[in-house]
Amino acid sequence: MAGRPGYVTLPIISVLAAIGYVYYTTVFLAIPAWLGLATAAGVANAAAYTALALACVATYGLAITRDPGRVPPAFVPDVEDAQTPIHEIKRKGGDLRYCQKCSHYKPPRAHHCRVCKRCILRMDHHCIWINNCVGHENYKIFLVFVLYVATASLYSMILIIGAAVHSAPKDEQSGSDSPRSSIIICGVILCPILLSTSILLGWHVYLILHNKTTIEYHEGVRAMWLAEKAGNLYHHPYDLGFYHNTVSVLGPNILCWLCPVSRNTGNGIRFRTSYDIPLSTSAFKKEEHLSMS
């Protein structure tokens, strides 16, 4: 069922159909039933909702088509670099991270995806809803898409509840084909969509604040358990504090944090760790130099 990335699959068609169905019900049934499409409030809400729906479709398209991040063919771990913490590039036994399937070294935080059949930079997870991996290059777009869908679902729910409350059923019109019934059915379908996107959004806000990927969260649970057993304390190496974590994922400009066009920071190959703190100017310069080269 899972098609190769770049192909349109059944889950993608389902998402687009759901967006179309909810959009139609909200704009052409709920808003007319509550506010009327000829009123200023009706037009304003229809316009705002249309803009949000278009933003959902646009970011969805970008999340599907944007490459999640490839390992450069010439990538070789910099073992001589004194600033690279050794735990990042070495695994148990001291081996460098190497992908047997791709026959190349893996940068820190890169993982091999069995569906994409290649290594993905700062891989988070493979998402069937976009038929693509969520990695360093499209993580922010994926996040903004989830935010837009959660916001649109909430907005739609408010308009649907308003329409259901304000358009009291008339006895002669209370059949199953009345607009009110269609609006209520759409509201029921929206419940799991609103709940799941809100939980997903909250989960990724948690991950961003701790500078973790979904894979690293699961690895961390195990590492913490092993460290506790050995009487040590486990610390996630990329956790730089809430602010620096958010900046490293969403970019330095707070006004662009939710903007889908701006890229996140870094090259996806080298990441600042808590071992680099205090963040001296020279460390920043070195980082910039490395990401440009």
Active site residues: 127
Site string for Zn ion, 140-179 (x = CB under 5 A): ----------------------------------------
By CB under 5 A, is residue 133 in contact with Zn ion? yes
Binds Zn ion by CB under 5 A, chosen from 18, 52, 99, 227: 99
Say whether residue 102 binds Zn ion (CB under 5 A): yes
> Sign (positive/negative) of CA torsion 283, 85, 290, 213?
negative
Out of 16, 43, 58, 115, point to the residue binding Zn ion (CB under 5 A).
115
Decide: 108 and 216 in contact? Cβ < 8 Å.
Answer: no
71 is an interface residue for Zn ion by CB under 5 A: no
Shortest reach from residue 133's CB to Zn ion, in Å = 3
> Does 113 engage in binding with Zn ion (CB under 5 A)?
yes
Give the residue with the Cβ less far from Zn ion, 112 or 235.
112
- Which of 35, 119, 183, 247 touches Zn ion by CB under 5 A? 119
Q: How far is the CB of 12 from Zn ion (least distance, A)?
A: 14
Q: What angle do CA 159, 27, 204 make, to 5 degrees?
A: 65
Smallest CA-to-CA distance from 128 within 63, 212, 66, 193 is with 63
Q: Is 125 in the site for Zn ion (CB under 5 A)?
A: no
Q: Between 154 and 215, whose beta carbon lies closer to Zn ion?
A: 215
Conformation bin of residue 36: beta by default, left when phi > 0, alpha when psi is -120 to 50: left
Q: How far is the CB of 6 from Zn ion (least distance, A)?
A: 11
b/e sequence 78-113, b meaning 16+ C-beta within 10 Å:
eeeeeebbeebbeeeeeeebeeeebebbbbbbbbbb
Number of chain positions touching Zn ion (CB under 5 A)? 10
Kind plus residue range of the DSSP H or E element containing 186: helix 179-209
DSSP 105: E
Residue 221 burial (CB count, 10 A) = 11
Which parts of this chain interact with Zn ion (CB under 5 A)?
A: 99, 101-102, 112-113, 115-116, 119, 126, 133
